[in-house]
Structure formats: structure tokens, C-alpha cells
Amino acid sequence: ERTIVVVGGGLAGAKAVEALREQGFDGSLVLLAAEDRLPYERPPLSKEYLQTGEGLDDTTVHPREWYDEQRIDLRLGQRATGFDPAARTVTTSAGEHLAYDVLLLATGAQPRTLDLPGADLDGVLTLRTVADSDRLRAAFTEDARVVVVGGGWIGLETAAAARTAGASVTVLESLELPLLRVLGPRMATMFAQLHREHGVDLRTETEVEGFEGDGSVTGVRLRSGEVLPADVVVVGVGAAPDVELAEAAGLRIDNGVVTDAHGQTSDEHVYAVGDVAQYPDALSGKHIRVEHWANALNHPAAVASGMLGKDATYDDLPYFFTDQYDLGMEYVGLGEASDDVVVRGDLDKRELIAFWVRDGRVRAGMNVNVWDVVDDVKALIRSEKPVDLQRLADPDVPLTSV
């Protein structure tokens, strides 16, 4: 009997075992999951769940019985500690050596931390897991002084949750604007204003020098010398792909585990998917690593085909969403900060679609508080046709005919 071992019990790992069974794999299937909890989806951890403590059940990918019905040997709380590509065995934290025919790495990513004095004080926290989210919610009381380091998606969503809970919130960003590298100045300004309007003290071009406190954090020291009082600090400075196992086994790594279009790594028996993988984007041909929910949800089916020796292409465009206060948005495609941004709609009311245009073609689109347009935006990006910028900006021109 053939054996497939999947390492990583996040969304990508859970969707991969599902796809393998759906596509007819009836051999032995092991899912090693380091966390003590059934595989779950993370987006609510910085949004609804962080604010209300509710909705966790909806985020569980499959109920416990499902794994039994599907004959999936789910090992919660067990991590792979290494694998031997020549012998094709995985070692687990329970001390076992499992033989595999094909191995899938779905180890995800880990929050980056800051190598600064005081970074290990109590109350200097990151956000990746349910336990992290619970810890933050407990800390976000009305009299709490919360300092968020990093104006990225996680930092801003966390700031919104903390403000909604009534805490005083300062966000520290080293660049001129939060989200500047992802969105470029115009749309980044919209997010900066949103947070300022909701009472966040957003400090840009601000460098953190260290954290102060005795046991627990009490302040954040800035390079300017100022010390901001803090009861809790959230470090949201991005995530790093969890490549430890792949690296130790000598796989090709380049900002993630490098794979081909089928998810195969530099070792023919090892595949990778989800936040940990860097794969060729079907449209641009560029290798990309996508740290988004939709990729962890949809890419595993194609990689499962590759693992079973079938041909399946994955050509989904990167897709991302966020909710902050009363702003909901979806972003699709691959924009660059230097692209021209064309706005259709009302920027002041924050009801709009923004398009990132390069060489006269739409490369990405972001709908803000405007819904049911993602399919049209995707079609526009995929068509790679030159667009008339005036028509693109005109809400009266249907997206299908710009």
C-alpha cells in the first residue's frame, strides 16, 4: 500500500488530504499536525474572533469524524521533526519513523519577531494561532494601552479590534505609510485615514529600538528616544515560511520551498503547498509565495493531482480580503507599489474599486465596500487587454466593456 504523509495541519494540509481522497487515493494517509486542535482557518483570529471570541466552530475545516470516515490518520499535537529524502522516512515528535512514498510539506509560516532588547518580555505578542488570539482579546480592555508594531494587514486588523474593544491604540510603521509596499501611496493613504478617524495614533517613519519593563512590558522605546507606555505590544512584522524541515533535508529554498507548477519540490517525492511554498504563477510565470487563505484553500487540489501523477494546472489569481471597522475589501491579482492606480467610485466614502495598471493593462483590483465584482475584475486581469483608463474609472461603463 502506498503511503502519503502530509506535514502541517493548517488549511492547506487539511484541504490536501481531502483532495487526495476525492481524487481516488486509497492508500494510507497520515496528517501530522503540530497544534493540538483540528485544522482551522486563521482569518477570523484577527477579526471577528479577536473581537467577540465567537465563530471558532465555523472555522474548523472538517469535524473530527470526517478524518475517521476518510481513513485519515490525523495526529494532533505531533510534529515532524525531520525527514530523510534518501530513505523516504519522516521522524515524528512521538519518536516514530514513518515511511512515505510521497511527502507533502504544508508547514505554513511563523510570525517574524524582532531581534531587539526586551522583545522576550511578557506582553510582547504575535498573532498566528487561536491561543494567540485569545491572549490578545483578554488584553484588549478599555483601559489598555496597546502598541502595534507594523502597519501590515495583521497589524491593522489587530489595531481595529483593539480600538473596537475601547483600548487606546498606537500603530508604529517604519515607512511613510502603512501597507505602502503592497498598495502604493494612494490606497495606503486611505487605510491610514481610516485608522486615524477611528482614533488610532498612527505614527509613520517610526523605528522601534526596544521594549522596556521588568518581566512584563511597560513601554516601547523609539529611536527618537521617546518611550511609549504600553500594557501589551503586538508585533505584526510579517510571517516567515516554515522551511526548517525542507532546509535540513537539502531541498531548494528561496523565500519558501521552491516547487514547479505541480507542487513538486527539488526532491521528486516531496511536494509543498500553502504559505510555505513558492510556485510559478500561471499568468506571469514568476515564482510567487502567496500567504493567503484562498491559496491555502484552492491550491492543494492541484498539488494533490501532481502527487498522484495526474496533470492539473492551478491558475487562480492571488486573492485576499480584509475587514477593518466598517471597511470590507477584496483584492485580486498582483499589483506593484509603482503601478498606476485608477479609482472607480468614491474614495472619500471608501466605496470604490481600485485598479493597478502596468503597461496599460490591469494587473490587480481591489473592491472596497463594493461587492460581487471580483469575477469581472479577475476576467479583466486575465484578459491582459489594453484598457482605456477613463472608461476604467467610469462607474457607468460596465467592467466587461472597458
18 is a contact residue toward ligand FAD (CB under 6 A): no
Of the candidate residues 4, 6, 10, 232, the single one contacting ligand FAD (CB under 6 A): 10
Q: Which DSSP symbol is given to 75?
A: E
- Nearest CA to 200 out of 227, 165, 174, 225 is that of 165
Of the candidate residues 4, 5, 6, 8, the single one contacting ligand FAD (CB under 6 A): 8
- The residue (of 13 and 184) whose beta carbon lies closer to ligand FAD is 13
Q: Where in 64-123 is the site for ligand FAD (CB under 6 A)?
A: 79-80, 106-109
| Smallest distance, ligand FAD to C-beta of residue 117, A | 26
CA dist 154 and 331 (Å) reads 15
Q: Exposed (0-12), middle (13-18) or buried (19+): which is 142, by Cβ within 10 Å?
A: exposed
Q: Where in 135-174 is the site for ligand FAD (CB under 6 A)?
A: 154
CA dist 90 and 84 (Å) reads 6
CA dist 32 and 364 (Å) reads 36
| Smallest distance, ligand FAD to C-beta of residue 37, A | 8
11 is a contact residue toward ligand FAD (CB under 6 A): yes
Cα end-to-end span (Å), the chain: 55
Q: Where in 185-244 is the site for ligand FAD (CB under 6 A)?
A: 242
Of the candidate residues 3, 35, 56, 340, the single one contacting ligand FAD (CB under 6 A): 35
Q: Where in 243-282 is the site for ligand FAD (CB under 6 A)?
A: 245, 274-275
E strand map for 215-281: 216-222, 227-229, 232-235, 239-241, 257-258, 270-272, 277-280
Which amino acid is present at 17? V
Residue 178 three-state SS: coil
Q: Which DSSP symbol is given to 58?
A: H
291 is a contact residue toward ligand FAD (CB under 6 A): yes
The count of chain residues that interact with ligand FAD, using the rule CB under 6 A, is 36
Distant-in-sequence, close-in-space partners of 311: CB < 8 Å, separation ≥ 6? 262, 305
Count CB-CB contacts under 10 A for residue 155: 25
| Smallest distance, ligand FAD to C-beta of residue 358, A | 23
- The residue (of 159 and 228) whose beta carbon lies closer to ligand FAD is 159
CA dist 331 and 290 (Å) reads 13
Instruction: Pick the piece of the chain touching ligand FAD (CB under 6 A) from 41-49, 65-73, 161-169, 221-229.
Output: 41-49
Binding site for ligand FAD (CB under 6 A): 7-13, 32-35, 42-43, 45-46, 79-80, 106-109, 127-128, 154, 242, 245, 274-275, 291-294, 296, 320-322
